[in-house]
Homo-oligomer: A and B are copies of this chain.
Amino acid sequence: MDDNKGKCPGAYSTIEIVTGKWKPMILYQLAQSESVRFNELKRLIPDITQKMLTSHLKELEFHDIIDRKVYAQVPPKVEYSLTEYGRGIVPILSALQNWGKNHLSRLEQMYDHEKTEING
């Protein structure tokens, strides 16, 4: 990793890429299948707006994390998929998820503990 005087550990580039309210879930969904169409993604992530989905997909494509394949036909068809490079992020997502799940159950435990104290 970067030395101290270089101040910023390389984490930022990753965080910048993974950050965004929906990017982790987009990547997660893409990691589940070979390729996903635009509206399918929208269906898989109901709360996302088209604008956010589009812009995030664009960013991810720019960073060469995902691949965008356009079929010149009517009706239009666009498929998104993780690039070989993008698959390198999956383990990080997993780590994030594992930690997050762990964290959530920890929170629940603390909550239960509180309840127990109150009820007991």
Residues of A within 8 A of B (CB): 1-2, 4, 7-15, 17-19, 24-25, 28-29, 32, 44-47, 85, 88-89, 91-104, 106
**Contact across chains for B4 and A45 when beta carbons are under 8 A apart:** yes
Q: Which of B9, B88, B96, B97 contacts A28 (CB 8 A)?
A: B9
**Contact across chains for A13 and B100 when beta carbons are under 8 A apart:** yes
Q: List 30 A-B contacts (CB under 8 A).
A: A1-B94, A1-B101, A2-B97, A4-B44, A4-B46, A7-B44, A7-B45, A7-B46, A7-B47, A9-B25, A9-B96, A9-B97, A9-B100, A10-B98, A10-B100, A11-B28, A11-B97, A11-B100, A12-B100, A13-B100, A14-B96, A14-B97, A15-B19, A15-B100, A17-B103, A19-B19, A88-B99, A89-B99, A92-B95, A92-B99
